[in-house]
Amino acid sequence: MDRINLFEKFESFNEHGSPKIIGELNGQQVKLAKFKGEFVFHKHDNEDELFMVLKGKFKMEYRDKTVELNEGEIVIVPRGVEHKPVAEEEVWVMLFEPASTLNTGNLVNEKTKKQLESI
Amino acid sequence: MDRINLFEKFESFNEHGSPKIIGELNGQQVKLAKFKGEFVFHKHDNEDELFMVLKGKFKMEYRDKTVELNEGEIVIVPRGVEHKPVAEEEVWVMLFEPASTLNTGNLVNEKTKKQLESI
């Protein structure tokens, strides 16, 4: 019920590719992440995923096209669709997705984060 | 899967208190709304509700306290908690809540919007 300041939360961590939980509602979680570089193609079989750019920009690559996302833009990746975020420079992103969503979806590799920190 | 620019969407309507649907995921909807003035105290018995300020500011009044929200801040109002948004000047807000959520919750009055437009 209290105010959450997104930029204060972003200032509180520096790791890339390690989403932090800042809120939960209706079985969904709100997460903040800093990305830099190229992620891996993956999909979530049962979960749709929203990305919103708060600072910077990145490209969402699909198998058949690429969408460039800038500050103040969102994209919803439907369940089952393979996607790969790519950020040339650091980007600050808010994620909205079910609490069950694993960052690497159907893949489990060195980028997988099973236990997310709440901040 | 395509980019949604929030500010372009906000520029496309002027009504106050009439949320517009811009996306849907996992049974939840993403809505944009412009508020000005005082809403009514209401609650949602089965739905948590997220508000994020994109432009301007407003106060979320609860029965026992008030939280002021500025740009880049979010608040999650848990199910069952009475709340009343109050905006002295126009504020642009993104909402995240279940597709079933009615803007006036347990009340049905002249502010109730049963059919929301998708933009």
pLDDT in tens, A12-55: 999 998 999 999 999 999 999 999 999 999 999 999 999 999 99
pLDDT in tens, B22-74: 999 999 999 999 999 999 999 999 999 999 999 999 999 999 999 999 999 99
The one-letter amino acid at B42 = H
pLDDT in tens, A89-112: 999 999 999 988 888 888 888 889
Measured between beta carbons, the chain B residues lying within 8 angstroms of A99 are: none
Burial of A114 per CB tally in 10 Å (0-12, 13-18, 19+):
exposed
**Average pLDDT rounded to a whole number, residues B81-107:** 94
Measured between beta carbons, the chain A residues lying within 8 angstroms of B7 are: 72
pLDDT of amino acid A54: 97
ipTM value, please give it.
0.93
Do A89 and A59 form a contact (C-beta atoms < 8 A)? no
> Distance (Å, rounded) from C-alpha A24 to C-alpha A44?
19
> Distance (Å, rounded) from C-alpha A99 to C-alpha B67?
26
Q: Is A26 on the interface with B (CB under 8 A)?
A: yes
Torsion of CA A55, A61, A66, A67, to 10 degrees: -30
pLDDT of amino acid A102: 85
- Best probe of the B interface among A2, A11, A28, A79, by most B CBs < 10 A, is A28
- Best probe of the A interface among B1, B10, B48, B101, by most A CBs < 10 A, is B1
